[in-house]
Amino acid sequence: MLVPATEMLQKAVEGHYAVGAFNLNNLEWTKTILSTAQELNSPVILGVSEGAGKYMTGFKTVKAMVSAMMEAMNITVPVALHLDHGTYDACYECIKAGFSSIMFDGSHYPIEENLAKTTELVKIAHAMGLSIEAEVGAIGGEEDGVIGMGECADPDECKMISDLGIDFLAAGIGNIHGKYPANWQGLSFDTLAAIKAKIGDKPLVLHGGTGIPADQIRKAIDLGVAKINVNTECQLYFAEATRKYIEEGKDLQGKGYDPRKLLAPGVEGIHTIVAEKIRLFGSDGKA
């Protein structure tokens, strides 16, 4: 059964570990993330961006696919189906589609507007039994070939948003989506500690999990991060394994062109990354 992410993240804060939020891109991703979480007896969050949702023909399709797969695969670990970086409209769509969790990303609005929209969505999400994440301090990434350095959120604004009753908070601490530039300064632990001091035990979310060194991940978890988002790293491993298969001419041998065979090395790549992250975050055996 799909569950809101609140309880699994509160347990993570108490137990000093984090739950991985892995983005879905297609059927292979969904199946592999679910089976890996089950194999390691770990709670898991399936993140769905608006773009990926659209690619899979809509949030309703994604919800139907995830529910049917969980039943067919006998998935018993807690799974949250979560909208990633949702607009106001997408939040409503996901509530209607039967998601168990949403993220409203109002970080690009002036703080007053972010507060007003988050307040409304907290009310509706909770009335419908969903958990809700909000964001302060935009978490950027590569735009037009330029990689931003990552903003740091204002701890006072974090407290204002946290006090609206959201279940977990994404705050920029120098993290960005996608690959980190060679001269990246690392996470700002001073910012993280200042935010934690303001918001207490509310679970914090670290976006841009790809490429953050393991020691920084462990320190972030020590300072209250309980949900870590990973997307690009699975994509990179998938692409690399698929390229190798084709470069070795395996698609030209026998029925190597069969998509089930052609995509198998990439799927193994996703499995490797998801398993590695679950162990690094410490959520294995915590289902």
For residue 105, the minimal CB distance to ligand 13P (Å) is 9
* Residue selected from 131, 191, 231, 283 as contacting ligand 13P according to rule CB under 6 A: 231
Q: What is the 3-state secondary structure (H, E, C) of the chain?
A: CECCCHHHHHHHHHHCCCEEEEECCCHHHHHHHHHHHHHCCCCEEEEECHHHHHHCCCHHHHHHHHHHHHHHCCCCCCEEEEECCECHHHHHHHHHHCCCEEEECCCCCCHHHHHHHHHHHHHHHHHCCCEEEEEECCCCCEECCEECCCCECCHHHHHHHHCCCCCEEEECECCCCCCCCCCCCCCCHHHHHHHHHHHCCCCEEECCCCCCCHHHHHHHHHCCEEEEEECHHHHHHHHHHHHHHHHCCHHHCCCCCCHHHHCHHHHHHHHHHHHHHHHHHCCCCCC
- Binding of ligand 13P by 227 (CB under 6 A): no
For residue 219, the minimal CB distance to ligand 13P (Å) is 18
Residue 108 or 123 with smaller CB distance to ligand 13P: 108
- Binding of ligand 13P by 209 (CB under 6 A): yes
Give the dihedral of Cα atoms 97, 238, 21, 211; nearest 10 deg. Answer: -150
For ligand 13P, the binding residues in 124-153 under the rule CB under 6 A are none
Q: Single out the segment in contact with ligand 13P by CB under 6 A; choices: 88-96, 150-158, 181-189, 231-239.
A: 231-239
For residue 83, the minimal CB distance to ligand 13P (Å) is 10
Residue 107 or 229 with smaller CB distance to ligand 13P: 229
The strand pairing partners of 204, in sequence order, are 169, 225
Number of residues that bind ligand 13P (CB under 6 A): 15
**C-beta of residue 248 within 8 angstroms of C-beta of residue 13:** no
Catalytic site includes residue 84: yes
Q: Single out the segment in contact with ligand 13P by CB under 6 A; choices: 75-83, 88-96, 158-166, 204-212.
A: 204-212
For ligand 13P, the binding residues in 9-48 under the rule CB under 6 A are 23, 47
* Residue selected from 4, 43, 70, 84 as contacting ligand 13P according to rule CB under 6 A: 84
- Binding of ligand 13P by 232 (CB under 6 A): yes
For residue 253, the minimal CB distance to ligand 13P (Å) is 33
- Binding of ligand 13P by 229 (CB under 6 A): yes
- Binding of ligand 13P by 230 (CB under 6 A): yes
Residue 179 or 219 with smaller CB distance to ligand 13P: 179
Q: Which residues are catalytic?
A: 84
Q: What residue ranges bind ligand 13P (CB under 6 A)?
A: 23, 47, 84-85, 177-178, 207-210, 229-233
